[in-house]
Amino acid sequence: MPRPKQRTPELRDRLLLAAIDTLADDGVAGFTTRRIAQGADTSVPAVYELFGDKSGLVREIFFEGFRRLGSRLLEIPVTPDPRGDLMAAVGVLRDFVQTHPGMAEVMFARPFSDFDPGPAELTAGATVREDLTERLRRCIAAGKLAGDPTDLGHVLIALVQGLARQEIAGWLGSTPESVERRWSTAFERLLRQP
Q: What is the mean pLDDT of residues 70-81?
A: 95
pLDDT tens digit sequence for 101-156: 999 999 988 899 888 888 888 888 888 889 999 999 999 999 999 999 999 999 99
pTM (predicted TM-score) = 0.88
In the predicted structure, residue 5 carries a pLDDT above the cut 90: no
Interatomic CA distance for residues 129 and 35, integer angstroms:
33
Interatomic CA distance for residues 183 and 163, integer angstroms:
7
Interatomic CA distance for residues 20 and 100, integer angstroms:
9
Transcribe 79-138 into DSSP letters.
-S-HHHHHHHHHHHHHHHHHH-HHHHHHHHS---TT----HHHHHHHHHHHHHHHHHHHH
Domains defined for the chain, CATH in brackets = 1-52 (1.10.10.60), 54-190 (1.10.357.10)
Decide: 98 and 40 in contact? Cβ < 8 Å: no
